[in-house]
Structure formats: structure tokens, C-alpha cells
Amino acid sequence: MAVSLKQSLPSHLLFASSSHNPGAIPHLGQRYDTSGRFLTERGNTVVCHLAEGSETAAVLLEARARYMTMPGADKLAFTAASSLHMTLFQGIIETRRALPYWPEDVPVETPVDDMTAIFLDRLAGFEPGEAFAVEVMHATPLGLTLRGVSDRDRSILKDWRDRLADLLGYRHPDHETYSFHITFAYMIERFDDATMAAWVPFLQEVTEEIRRRAPVLELRAPAFCVFDDMNHFEELMVFDPA
């Protein structure tokens, strides 16, 4: 069974399989613990929250609720429903004080609150980019992977990210290949083959339902936010698209 599942498992789900990917789980013990409790990990970021009252919010919250009833849901740490967002550009975080995750011209020991003040000052003159449309590519046990609907949308997203990187002064190693996503949960323990077998058709069904009801996701304007953990992202500055 393990071999046949491994051969048939879609590539975007391999990370969640214990038989395929038995290594350490990123962020476990630092961002959240084995009980599913989120730990203090302060930072800032640029995100697009879900549009309140939209069909997008409705179908995504329904999907998240269904995740919580699935076999293996106890192996996931679910973030607060109110926190759902798409990250447009990663800010700094206190647990990753190193280049190239930090501006070269600011000491890596600078307190998070001071970094937020520095970024607010730099962002004061930022010209928002054009509006963009995004769609769901895949559902995974952790949430949704997204992409721009058209080549034009993908170009606009790249422009936003490139200009934010230039202004704030750093680029992550995955800057050019960053995978847009909406997180529902973090993994406490990877799924065994029986659990994965239950999730594969479920995730395909979720993907199809979201595409049917929300072919273009309704998101709020990008906003610079601060956070203490992964359960709440407080908007400090909103960038209404041009």
C-alpha cells in the first residue's frame, strides 16, 4: 500500500506524507507546539485578508470547517478563522534574524517594534501597484496554493513584490519562485498512508468546489501588518491598488 500510494500521490502533497517525507517538520516547536498551541513569534508582513461577507470567505471557511472533521485533523494546528489571508510579501520575523531575510542596512538585532517603525517610514512613499486577480491551484492539508489568474496578473504580482523588496531592502532566496498561499493549519505530525488516501480525493473535491463558487478570490487590498503569532495580523497601512 505504501508503495502504490507514494507512486500515485500528487507532487504538491508529497510534503504531507510520513512515508515519503519523514524528516523534521518546519516551524514545529518554534511557531506552534505539539498540542497545536501557537507560540509568540513576532514580526510584520504584507498580506491580503479575505473580503468579509464575500462568497470567497464563505466557501473558504466552509472548507476549513470540513478540514477539521477529516481523519488526521488532530495532527494539524489550525490558525484562527479570522486570520485567513494571502501573503503578498514577507516581512521580518524575530526567529529569523539573518541575511537575506533582513535589510542589509539595519542590524539584525534591531527590535521588532523598531523594524516595524523603519518599514512604516520606508512604505510611506510606496506607490501601490495595479489590482490583481488570484485563483486556487490546489488544496493541501495546510490550506490552499494560489496563482495569478492570467499572465498579466502574475506580472502585476511580481511587480508588487519586486518594488517592495527594493524599498524594504531584502529578498528571500525564494523571491522569484514564491508560492502564494492561504494557510488553514500547520502540521504537527505528517499523515500515514491511510490518512493520505482519505485526504487525496477530499482535497480534489475542495479545490473543485472553491473554483466553482469563487473562481477569482475576493481579497482585501494589500496591507502592512504586525503579528505576535499566526492567529492575528493587525493592519497598519493599506495599499489600495492603483
Element (H, E) at 207: helix 193-213
pLDDT at 1: 38
Q: What confidence tens digit (pLDDT) does each residue in 145-165 have?
A: 999 999 999 999 999 999 999
Q: What residues are paired with 48 via a beta bridge?
A: 86
**pLDDT(214) > 90:** yes
Taking Cα atoms as reference points, which of 50, 6, 5 lies closest to residue 235?
50
Instruction: For each of the domains in the chain, give its residue range(s) and CATH number, in order of start.
Output: 2-238 (3.90.1140.10)
In this structure, the number of other CB atoms found within 10 A of the CB of residue 227 comes to 20
pLDDT tier, 201 (very low <50, low <70, confident <90, very high otherwise): very high
pLDDT at 2: 42
Q: From CA 197, how far away is CA 199, in angstroms rounded?
A: 6
Sheet holding 223-227, edge to edge: 134-140, 143-148, 181-183, 85-93, 43-49, 223-227, 234-238
Q: From CA 115, how far away is CA 54, in angstroms rounded?
A: 34
Q: What confidence tens digit (pLDDT) does each residue in 17-51 have?
A: 999 999 999 999 999 999 999 999 999 999 999 99
Q: From CA 213, how far away is CA 62, in angstroms rounded?
A: 12
